[in-house]
A and B are shown apart, each in its own frame.
Chain A
Amino acid sequence: MKELPLAEMRNIHKWYGKVHAVDGVSLTVNKGEILGLLGDNGAGKTSLIKVLSGYHCPDDGEVFIEGKKVRINSPAEASALGIETVYQEQALVDLMSVARNFCMGREPVKWGGFLDKQKMNECMIPLRAMGLSIKSPDILVKSLSGGEKQGAAIARAMHFKAKLVILDEPTRALAVKEVSKTLDFVERLKEANIGVIFITHTLHHVHSIADRFAVMDKGKIVKEIKRDEVSLDELTEVLME
C-alpha cells in the first residue's frame, strides 16, 4: 500500500484584498523528503507556507496531515500537529538564553508553572548531538553565529518531534562555511525521516540536498521536478522563464 503523504495541500487559494497571492496550489510533502520551494519575490511561496504554519487560514482549499483533513488556525495549532517553521531571522530570540529559547512555548515546569531549570538545561544534549559546541545553556543566542542559530532551531524542531519543518531562507546572509553547516543540519532532518520544505532564492544551496523542487510564479505552481531529472543549470533556466 502506498504511504500517505506527510502533508498535502489541495487547491489552496489565498487573497489579500484584490491580490490573489495563492491561486489554486496543490502540493505534497512526504516523510524524509526535502522539497525545495522556489520562485521569485512575490511568487506566493511565503503566503503558501503561512497557510501550513497557521499564520493565515486559506480562503479556499484543503490541508491534510498524514491523510487527515485539518484546519490550522494558529501557529500553536500547527506546532501541535508537528509543523515547525524556522524563519531566517525570526527563529530565536537574540536576547534570551539558549535554554530559554530552546524551550520557548514548551517550557518544562514544576509545580504552578514554575520553570524546571534542570530540565531546561538538558537542551544541551540535543544541541551537542547536532554538533554544536555551545558552552553553556545560559549564554545569549545573540552570541551564536548565524549557522549555529539555524542549527539550534533545527535541533529544537527535532527534539520536539516535529514531522514537517518549514525553513524560510535558512541560508540567506550566511557566510560560506555557515551555509555548509546549515545544509548539513537540514540533511539531519531527512535522516530522521522528517519532511522538509526548503524555501530559497539560492538554487545551488537547495539543489545539493533537495529531493524534489516546486517552482512558483504569480501564486501558482508552474513546475514540479525531481532532482534526478534536472541539473542546476536547467533548474536556473526554469526559474528564468
Chain B
Amino acid sequence: MKERNLGKRHEVWQHFSRVASFRETIVFGITIGLFVLFSVLSGGKFASSDVIGIMAIAASELGVVVLGVALLMISGEFDLSVGSVSAVGALAGAMLYQLGLNPFLATAIAIGCGICVGAVNGLLTVKFGIPSFIVTLGALMSWRGLVTLVTGGQPLIFRVGETHPAFFSVFQGNFGKVSAPLIWFIVVVIILGLLLHFHRFGNHVFATGGNKEAARSMGINTNKTKLICFMIVGGLAAFSGILQSIRSRGFYAAQGDGMELIAIAATVVGGTSLFGGVGNIVGVTLGLLIIIFLQYGLIMIRVPGFWYKIVLGIIIIAVVIMDKILKQRGKLT
C-alpha cells in the first residue's frame, strides 16, 4: 500500500516536472506563500481588487524592463543602466508630446532613443571587450546626469491625456477590468517567451550565454546576438519609462531611479543565472511577482519602508545560496 502511494507520488512529480522545472516550482511556491501570508496579515486587504489592480500596473511597468534584463542576462551580459535609459525614453517622449507631435509617432521615436542607447552599450561591450557591468554603470551615471542637465531637475508636464484620449487609453486606459499596462506586459511576455524558447534567436541567446566559444565555433555571431539583446533591453526600458510618464502625466527627473537593482533582483529571484545561459520567462515573471508582493505587502501590513530593502537583500542572497546548494545536489541545472 505504502509502495503504491510512493509510486503514485513519483508519477505525479514526474508529470509536474514535465511542465515546470524544480526551480520554477520553488519560486511558484514562494510567490503563492507570500500572497497568502500578506493577505492573512493584512486582514484580507492585500487580496482586495483595488490593491491587486495597483500591483498589476506597477508589476507591468517594471515587468517589461525585467523581461529585457533577463534576456540580456541569459546572453551573459548585464545592464545596470535600465533606470537611466527609462528616464531618457520618458524625457524624449515628454519633450515630443509638449511639441505637439503625433503622440504615437513621438512614442515610437522615444522607444527608438532607448534602442539607440542600448546599441551604444552593446557596441562598447562587444567591440571593445569592456565588461558590460562597467559600460552600463557608466551609462547609468552619464544618462542620469544628462537628463538632470536637460530638465534642470524640473518636471515636464504634458497634456497628451486630455488632447489625445485615445492615445491615453491605449497606454493607460482600462479594457474591461484589465489595465492597458497589464495587456502590454502580457504582449511582451508572449513575444519574448516565443523568441527565447521557440525561436532560433533564443537558441543563439542561450548558446552565447552558456558557452560563448562553443557558440562561436558553430558559426553563431555571438557579438550580434548580444548587441540585439542590449537593443531590446534599451527599447523596453524606454517603453517602461513612457508608460510611467503617461500615467503620471509628466516626466519627473527621479523617474526610474533605482529601477536597475530591482529589475536584476526580480531576474535573479526568478532563477536567471548571473553567469548566463540559464533562465526562462515563467520564472522571471514569478520573480517579478515576488518583488511586487514584498513591496506592497510590507506597506499593507504597515511595516516601515526600510524593511522592504532589508528583506529584498536577504531574499536575493538566500535565493543565490539555495541555487548553489541545489546545484551541488544535482537538482538544478
Contacts and interface: CB of A to CB of B under 8 A. Distances in A.
Q: Do A and B come from one complex?
A: yes
Contact of B215 (A80, A104, A109, A114): A104
B206 A105 contact: no
Given A95-B277, A107-B203, A113-B200, A79 B211 contact: no
A90 B219 contact: no
A94 interface: yes
A115 B200 contact: yes
Interface in A94-121: 94-96, 100, 103-107, 109, 112-115
B200 A75 contact: no
Contacts of B210: 93-96
A109 B201 CA distance: 11
B199 A113 contact: yes
A172 interface: no
A115 B207 CA distance: 15
B70 to A, nearest CB: 15
Contact of A87 (B198, B206, B217, B277): B217
Given A53-B217, A75-B219, A104-B214, A113 B201 contact: yes
A217 B124 CA distance: 38
A140 B219 contact: no
Contacts of A109: 200
B218 A105 contact: yes
A93 B194 contact: no
Interface string A174-213: 0000000000000000000000000000000000000000
B248 interface: no
Interface centre among B207, B211, B217, B220 (most CB of A within 10 A): B217
3 shortest interchain CB distances as A-B pairs: A105-B218, A76-B219, A93-B210
22 contacts: A74-B219, A74-B221, A75-B216, A76-B219, A79-B218, A87-B213, A92-B214, A93-B206, A93-B215, A94-B211, A96-B203, A96-B207, A100-B206, A103-B203, A104-B215, A104-B220, A105-B207, A105-B219, A106-B219, A109-B200, A113-B200, A115-B198
Given A75-B216, A87-B217, A112-B199, 8 more contacts: A76-B220, A80-B219, A90-B214, A93-B214, A94-B211, A105-B204, A113-B201, A140-B333
Interface of A: 53, 55, 74-76, 78-80, 84-87, 90-96, 100, 103-107, 109, 112-115, 140, 142
Interface of B: 194, 198-201, 203-204, 206-207, 210-211, 213-221, 277-278, 333
